[in-house]
Amino acid sequence: FFLMGANTLHLLLLVSVFVVLGCFMRVDAASCFPCDAGTFSNGATNDCINCPPGECEIGGCTQCPVGTSQPQTNQTQCIPCMDGFVASNPGEVVCKPCEKGETSNEEKTSCVACNPGTYSPSSGSTCEVCPVGTYQES
Protein backbone atom coordinates (compact mmCIF):
# COMPACT_ATOMS: atom_id res chain seq x y z
CA PHE A 1 0.00 0.00 0.00
CA PHE A 2 1.68 3.20 -1.13
CA LEU A 3 1.01 6.89 -0.45
CA MET A 4 2.40 9.65 -2.63
CA GLY A 5 3.49 12.87 -0.96
CA ALA A 6 4.74 16.10 -2.57
CA ASN A 7 8.01 14.57 -3.78
CA THR A 8 8.11 11.42 -1.64
CA LEU A 9 6.82 7.92 -1.69
CA HIS A 10 5.73 6.36 1.59
CA LEU A 11 5.31 2.66 2.14
CA LEU A 12 2.83 1.74 4.81
CA LEU A 13 3.16 -1.70 6.26
CA LEU A 14 -0.06 -3.37 7.10
CA VAL A 15 0.45 -6.03 9.70
CA SER A 16 -2.00 -8.86 9.70
CA VAL A 17 -2.16 -11.19 12.66
CA PHE A 18 -3.82 -14.53 12.18
CA VAL A 19 -5.12 -16.02 15.39
CA VAL A 20 -5.98 -19.68 15.86
CA LEU A 21 -9.48 -20.35 17.16
CA GLY A 22 -9.38 -20.90 20.92
CA CYS A 23 -6.21 -18.84 21.33
CA PHE A 24 -5.44 -15.16 21.59
CA MET A 25 -2.48 -13.12 20.39
CA ARG A 26 -0.96 -10.44 22.55
CA VAL A 27 -0.21 -7.29 20.58
CA ASP A 28 3.45 -7.36 21.67
CA ALA A 29 3.90 -11.12 21.22
CA ALA A 30 4.67 -13.36 18.33
CA SER A 31 2.93 -16.48 19.56
CA CYS A 32 -0.55 -17.66 20.37
CA PHE A 33 -1.60 -18.20 23.99
CA PRO A 34 -4.41 -20.64 24.83
CA CYS A 35 -7.51 -19.18 26.41
CA ASP A 36 -8.41 -20.14 29.98
CA ALA A 37 -10.98 -22.87 30.54
CA GLY A 38 -14.51 -21.55 30.03
CA THR A 39 -13.35 -18.82 27.65
CA PHE A 40 -12.83 -18.76 23.90
CA SER A 41 -11.38 -16.61 21.17
CA ASN A 42 -13.16 -16.53 17.83
CA GLY A 43 -10.02 -15.23 16.15
CA ALA A 44 -11.55 -11.80 15.52
CA THR A 45 -10.12 -10.18 18.64
CA ASN A 46 -6.96 -10.23 20.72
CA ASP A 47 -8.93 -11.34 23.77
CA CYS A 48 -10.62 -14.41 25.13
CA ILE A 49 -14.35 -14.02 25.74
CA ASN A 50 -16.41 -15.62 28.49
CA CYS A 51 -18.84 -18.32 27.48
CA PRO A 52 -22.25 -16.95 28.51
CA PRO A 53 -24.74 -18.78 30.75
CA GLY A 54 -26.39 -21.65 28.87
CA GLU A 55 -23.15 -22.40 27.03
CA CYS A 56 -19.91 -24.18 27.80
CA GLU A 57 -16.50 -24.20 26.18
CA ILE A 58 -15.96 -27.29 24.02
CA GLY A 59 -13.78 -26.03 21.18
CA GLY A 60 -15.71 -22.77 21.35
CA CYS A 61 -18.69 -21.55 23.31
CA THR A 62 -21.35 -24.15 22.57
CA GLN A 63 -24.98 -24.22 23.70
CA CYS A 64 -25.70 -26.77 26.39
CA PRO A 65 -27.58 -29.75 24.92
CA VAL A 66 -31.18 -30.52 25.92
CA GLY A 67 -31.41 -32.17 29.33
CA THR A 68 -28.60 -29.95 30.69
CA SER A 69 -28.09 -26.33 31.72
CA GLN A 70 -25.38 -23.91 32.85
CA PRO A 71 -26.25 -20.85 34.97
CA GLN A 72 -22.73 -19.38 35.14
CA THR A 73 -20.22 -17.88 32.72
CA ASN A 74 -16.72 -19.29 31.99
CA GLN A 75 -17.73 -22.94 32.35
CA THR A 76 -16.33 -26.02 30.60
CA GLN A 77 -19.27 -28.36 31.30
CA CYS A 78 -23.03 -28.28 31.26
CA ILE A 79 -24.90 -29.65 34.28
CA PRO A 80 -27.35 -32.54 33.77
CA CYS A 81 -30.85 -31.79 35.08
CA MET A 82 -31.85 -33.55 38.30
CA ASP A 83 -34.84 -35.88 38.44
CA GLY A 84 -38.04 -33.82 38.36
CA PHE A 85 -36.42 -31.03 36.30
CA VAL A 86 -36.06 -30.56 32.52
CA ALA A 87 -34.21 -28.51 29.92
CA SER A 88 -36.32 -28.79 26.76
CA ASN A 89 -34.23 -26.49 24.56
CA PRO A 90 -30.50 -26.17 23.83
CA GLY A 91 -28.77 -23.37 25.71
CA GLU A 92 -30.90 -23.45 28.86
CA VAL A 93 -29.54 -21.39 31.75
CA VAL A 94 -31.47 -23.40 34.39
CA CYS A 95 -33.43 -26.64 34.41
CA LYS A 96 -37.14 -26.01 34.99
CA PRO A 97 -39.16 -28.00 37.56
CA CYS A 98 -41.94 -30.31 36.45
CA GLU A 99 -45.36 -29.55 37.92
CA LYS A 100 -46.97 -31.38 40.82
CA GLY A 101 -48.13 -34.82 39.59
CA GLU A 102 -45.33 -35.01 36.98
CA THR A 103 -41.67 -35.91 36.80
CA SER A 104 -39.00 -35.72 34.13
CA ASN A 105 -38.49 -38.35 31.45
CA GLU A 106 -35.21 -40.28 31.44
CA GLU A 107 -33.52 -37.78 29.08
CA LYS A 108 -34.64 -34.82 31.26
CA THR A 109 -36.12 -33.14 28.17
CA SER A 110 -39.84 -33.19 29.03
CA CYS A 111 -42.21 -33.72 31.94
CA VAL A 112 -44.41 -36.82 32.06
CA ALA A 113 -47.34 -37.76 34.31
CA CYS A 114 -46.65 -40.09 37.21
CA ASN A 115 -47.70 -43.71 36.65
CA PRO A 116 -50.87 -45.03 38.34
CA GLY A 117 -50.16 -45.86 41.97
CA THR A 118 -47.53 -43.11 42.24
CA TYR A 119 -47.66 -39.37 42.83
CA SER A 120 -45.40 -36.31 42.83
CA PRO A 121 -46.18 -34.23 45.93
CA SER A 122 -44.65 -30.96 44.71
CA SER A 123 -43.15 -29.32 41.64
CA GLY A 124 -39.62 -30.50 40.89
CA SER A 125 -40.03 -33.79 42.73
CA THR A 126 -39.97 -37.40 41.59
CA CYS A 127 -42.91 -39.79 41.59
CA GLU A 128 -43.31 -41.74 44.81
CA VAL A 129 -45.37 -44.84 45.59
CA CYS A 130 -48.68 -43.96 47.23
CA PRO A 131 -48.79 -44.64 50.98
CA VAL A 132 -50.55 -47.81 52.15
CA GLY A 133 -54.33 -47.36 52.10
CA THR A 134 -54.26 -44.70 49.34
CA TYR A 135 -54.17 -44.77 45.54
CA GLN A 136 -53.68 -42.54 42.51
CA GLU A 137 -55.53 -43.42 39.30
CA SER A 138 -53.79 -41.19 36.80
Is the confidence at residue 133, as pLDDT, over 60? yes
- Work out how many domains the chain is built from and give that number: 1
> Residue 40: inside a domain, yes or no?
yes
> Residue 32: inside a domain, yes or no?
yes
Q: Find the range with the poorest average confidence among 22-26, 29-33, 52-56, 100-104.
A: 22-26
The set of residues, in sequence order, having a beta carbon less than 8 Å from that of 33 and lying 6+ positions away, is: 23, 24, 25, 26
> Residue 74: inside a domain, yes or no?
no
> Residue 129: inside a domain, yes or no?
no
Q: Which domain holds residue 23?
A: 1-50
> Residue 84: inside a domain, yes or no?
no
* pLDDT per position as a tens digit, 69-93: 999 988 889 999 999 999 999 999 9
Give the Cβ contact number of residue 71 at 10 Å.
12
